[in-house]
Amino acid sequence: MTARIVTHDERHYDELFALRTELFWTPNPDGTPSTNGRVVFHTLWYHFRDGLKFAESPGPRIEHDFDAILGRSFDVPIGGGETVTMPTALIMAAVKEAFDVLANEHLAPEPSENPDPE
Boundaries of every domain in the chain: 1-67, 71-108
63 pLDDT above the threshold of 80: yes
Quick one: what percent of the chain has pLDDT higher than 70?
A: 93
Backbone angles phi, psi at 31, to 5 degrees: 90, -5
Mean pLDDT check: name the lowest of 26-30, 45-49, 102-106: 26-30
| Strand, helix or coil for residue 88 | helix
Range 22-26, long-range pairs (CB < 8 A, 24+ positions) = 23/92, 23/95
Residue 117's pLDDT is 63
pTM of structure: 0.76
